[in-house]
Amino acid sequence: MNESLRKAIMKCALGCTATETVEEYGIEDGAMKLVKKKKLKKEIPPDLKAAQMLLGEDAFAEMDDERLEEERKRLLREMKEET
């Protein structure tokens, strides 16, 4: 797996914050002009399917919810150490 793909999957596995810009246009004096612009922050929760891709499906097959949560925390710590 190439490094940029691995980083993108890691980001999904750990959850992240995304910024979205919404722009509204209206017609003023016969031309389109920006009327309103909003920036929104969205929290994207961790995705277990992405974590499975990183570690292999067999690693999660027998884990209960408690063990999965421990693994998620371990991955968060690992991600913080990398950055």
pLDDT digits (tens, 9 = 90+) for 17-50: 889 999 999 998 889 999 999 999 999 899 888 8
CA 18/CA 66 separation, integer angstroms: 28
Predicted confidence at residue 32, as pLDDT, reads 92
Taking residues 74-81, what's their average pLDDT?
84
Are 54 and 79 in contact by the 8 Å Cβ rule? The answer is: no
Neighbours of 68 (CB within 10 A): 14
- Beta bridge pairs of residue 27: 32
Q: Which domain holds residue 77?
A: 3-82
More confident residue, 62 or 17: 17
Predicted confidence at residue 74, as pLDDT, reads 86
Structure tokens, 51: 């974590």
Query: Which pTM was predicted?
Result: 0.45
CA 74/CA 79 separation, integer angstroms: 9
Domain count, the chain: 1
Structure tokens, 38: 């909003």
